[in-house]
Amino acid sequence: MKKFLVTIIIITAIFSSLFIYTNNQSKKIAINQNKNKISTNKKQKKETSKTEIKQQNILLVNKQSKLSGNYTPQNLRVPNVKFMNSSDPNVRQMENEAATALENMFAGASKDGFTLLAVSGYRPYEYQKKLYDEKVEKDGKAEADKYVAEPGTSEHQTGLAMDLLSTEYTSLDDGFMNTNSYKWLLENCGKYGFIIRYPKDKENITKYNFEPWHIRYVGLPASQEIMNKSITLEEYLAEQNASK
């Protein structure tokens, strides 16, 4: 009888340890499978964000990064917004997506009580060349380079930029920065895909003087991030490249 009891105890012990072992093994397998799942998810996430950056495809145009003379944006159209009376009808177009964003932004400003006025959008290479040559002739190259982009280096050739003012202030100069319309722009343009392209105190990076009136379409979410962080497009793109 004693022998029988001992045998039963031993058998039970063997079975229960076997049970614990298999149970642990299957748990381990489950944990490993989960780990794999998590790492695949992470991998996928990383790949998506890379593609997102590629899809953003933000065009950088500055004094170092020039456009060729025959670069012409696709799908240009005149945005359905108010223009300054003095605005040249030949330079009112924008690339379609940017034009829609501009319309939305003007409508948003209007809701908040500001009447924005568009001044100058897409300028072909030849038009920019004429502007630049005239300025050089008038004030010399050094002065011209501060205010007028050399042909091929103007964002206005991209169809993604617009100079704008408001009924509050209608001269294309620094004074625009003291208006409530400009404050509105600073706070809100990022929500519509736009940035203040040549901000104050960033001249060393953009190589342009502060231009409160010049906005550039980069699209969301880039615009929001650039405006929230008060950085330039150059700094944003450098950050994106560093995190790739």
Compute the distance between CA of residue 118 and CA of residue 97 in angstroms, rounded to an integer.
16
17/90 with CB nearer Zn ion: 90
Residues 6+ apart with CB under 8 A from 170: 84, 117
Token pair 């408001």: residue: 166
Q: In the annotation, is 211 catalytic?
A: yes
Enclosing H/E stretch for 29 = helix 2-56
Q: How far is the CB of 138 from Zn ion (least distance, A)?
A: 18
φ, ψ dihedrals at 128, nearest 5°: -65, -40
Q: Does 92 contact Zn ion by CB under 5 A?
A: no
Pairwise CA distance, residues 75 & 93, whole Å:
10
Nearer to Zn ion, 128 or 192 (CB): 128
Question: Which residue lies nearest Zn ion, judged by its C-beta?
Answer: 214
Cβ atoms 162, 118 nearer than 8 A: yes
Which of the residues 47, 155, 168, 211 is marked catalytic? 211
How near is the Cβ of 58 to Zn ion at its closest, in Å? Answer: 17
**Binding of Zn ion at residue 216 (CB under 5 A)?**
no
Query: H helices of 57-139, where?
Result: 96-111, 125-139
Query: Which residues ranging from 22 to 81 are in contact with Zn ion (CB under 5 A)?
Result: none
> What's the rounded Cα separation, in Å, for the pair 104 and 110?
10
Residues touching Zn ion: how many (CB under 5 A)?
2
What is the smallest separation between the CB atom of 66 and Zn ion, expressed in angstroms?
16
Residues 155-174 that bind Zn ion (CB under 5 A): 163
Site string for Zn ion, 185-214 (x = CB under 5 A): -----------------------------x
Residues that bind Zn ion in the complex, under the rule CB under 5 A: 163, 214
Q: What are the residue numbers of the active site?
A: 211
